[in-house]
């Protein structure tokens, strides 16, 4: 019950398992906030390319897929240590390594609300990002976000306020950040996958699809008056959709959204390992700051 409520992160089978999990958790962190996270021996080759990544994301944008196999394929084998899996389930939070270097990992889970951000998921993000920021862990964010979850239940849960706190945590974090745009990147929640005002590298897979509103639903909102006045709304909708799809280009939107490069998914691990090496060098130059201080949040 407490794991679903977010009061407890992980469940242990017995005392030995609990101690093992605590040791593993602490192994990713420095001894204190004035030190850098320790480098472990990287047994996994940094140039490994996982062929299964070519077909892991369905072509149908509405079809879910499992994100955890993606993480296992693009992070050091056996290094993924998930936290809080039963709480805020549209967002996955875990610690992992890249060529032996510890990183914090955020990832959308399209099997829950299509990856849409709930109030609990936003709260989970804020807490995890604060931990990474405090202990100098660079963050990798695997993005497949259609936006904030909407509806009566979402309003009662305070999704706007709690969601804003999650976005504030991301923007206030000062650790190096990289985002992998796996699929959907829509709305305010999608746009808040990193702080665009500072160094936040973005790499997109060919499956990336981003903007203010997805065409499904967005088209009806933008052309509502024309559709209501049309003799054949279905035919007009199909005509508008065809016209918009004809000018849809991942390269155009990548340039518009400041994406560094559209990459072969199999190159994700080598790119992230190179980023992690540079990110940890940047971290070492900021250790004099000690404990992080943050401004107010909603």
CA dist 183 and 22 (Å) reads 34
Provide the residue range defining the domain that includes 275.
61-211+253-289
Q: Are 199 and 176 in contact (CB under 8 A)?
A: yes
In a domain, 133, yes or no: yes
Q: Is 235 helix (H, G, I), strand (E, B) or coil?
A: helix
In a domain, 227, yes or no: no
Does residue 16 carry a pLDDT above 70? yes
CA dist 71 and 52 (Å) reads 12
Domains of the chain: total:
1
CA dist 84 and 173 (Å) reads 20
Name 106's Cβ contacts closer than 8 Å, sequence gap at least 6: 91, 92, 93, 125, 128, 129, 139, 140, 141, 142
Q: What is the per-residue pLDDT across 155-193, written as a single tens digit (0 to 9) for each?
A: 999 999 999 999 999 999 999 999 999 999 888 888 888
In a domain, 193, yes or no: yes
In Å, how far from its chain's centre is CA 294?
22
CA dist 184 and 216 (Å) reads 12
In a domain, 71, yes or no: yes
Does residue 30 carry a pLDDT above 90? yes
What's residue 75's pLDDT? 96
Q: Give the burial string for 252-276 (b: 16+ CB within 10 Å, else e).
A: ebbeebebeebbebbbbbbbbbebb
The residue ranking higher by pLDDT, 264 or 259, is 264
* Strand-pair partners of 91: 108
In a domain, 244, yes or no: no
Q: What is 206-226 written as a DSSP string?
A: TT-EEESS-HHHHHHHHTHHH
Token pair, residue 11, equals: 């469940």
Q: The CATH number of the domain where 279 resides is what?
A: 3.90.226.10
Q: Are 122 and 161 in contact (CB under 8 A)?
A: no
Q: Are 66 and 2 in contact (CB under 8 A)?
A: no
Q: Which of 6-15, 75-84, 114-123, 287-296 has the lowest mean pLDDT?
A: 287-296
Does residue 205 carry a pLDDT above 90? yes
What is the mean predicted confidence (pLDDT) over 30-54?
89
In a domain, 231, yes or no: no
Q: Where is 268: in which H helix or E strand?
A: helix 268-284
Closest to 94 (Cα-Cα) out of 147, 139, 35, 48: 139
Token pair, residue 177, equals: 């950040």
In a domain, 154, yes or no: yes
CA dist 269 and 242 (Å) reads 36
């Amino acid at each position: 019950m407490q794991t679903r409520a977010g009061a407890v992160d992980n469940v242990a089978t017995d005392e030995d398992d609990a101690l093992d999990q605590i040791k593993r958790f602490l192994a990713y962190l420095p001894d204190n906030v004035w030190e850098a996270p320790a480098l472990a021996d990287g047994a996994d080759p940094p140039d490994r390319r996982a062929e299964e990544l070519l077909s892991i994301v369905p072509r149908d944008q509405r079809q879910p897929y499992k994100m955890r196999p993606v993480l296992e394929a693009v992070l050091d084998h056996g290094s993924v240590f998930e936290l809080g899996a039963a709480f805020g389930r549209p967002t996955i939070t875990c610690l992992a390594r890249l060529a032996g270097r510890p990183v914090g990992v955020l990832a959308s889970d399209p099997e829950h609300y299509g990856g849409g951000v709930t109030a609990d998921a936003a709260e989970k993000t804020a807490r995890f990002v604060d931990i990474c920021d405090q202990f100098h862990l660079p963050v990798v964010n695997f993005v497949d976000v259609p936006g904030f979850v909407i509806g009566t239940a979402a309003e009662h849960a305070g999704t706007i306020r709690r969601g804003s706190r999650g976005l504030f945590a991301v923007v206030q974090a000062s650790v190096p950040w990289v985002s992998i745009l796996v699929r959907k990147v829509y709305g305010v929640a999608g746009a808040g996958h990193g702080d665009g005002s500072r160094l936040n590298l973005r790499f997109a897979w060919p499956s990336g699809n981003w903007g203010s509103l997805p065409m499904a639903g967005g088209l009806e909102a933008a052309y509502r008056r024309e559709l209501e006045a049309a003799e054949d709304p279905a035919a007009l909708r199909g005509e508008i959709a065809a016209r918009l799809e004809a000018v849809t280009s991942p390269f155009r939107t990548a340039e518009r959204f400041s994406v560094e490069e559209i990459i072969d998914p199999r190159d994700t691990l080598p790119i992230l390992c190179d980023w992690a090496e540079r990110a940890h060098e940047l971290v070492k130059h900021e250790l004099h700051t000690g404990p992080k201080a943050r401004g107010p949040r909603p």
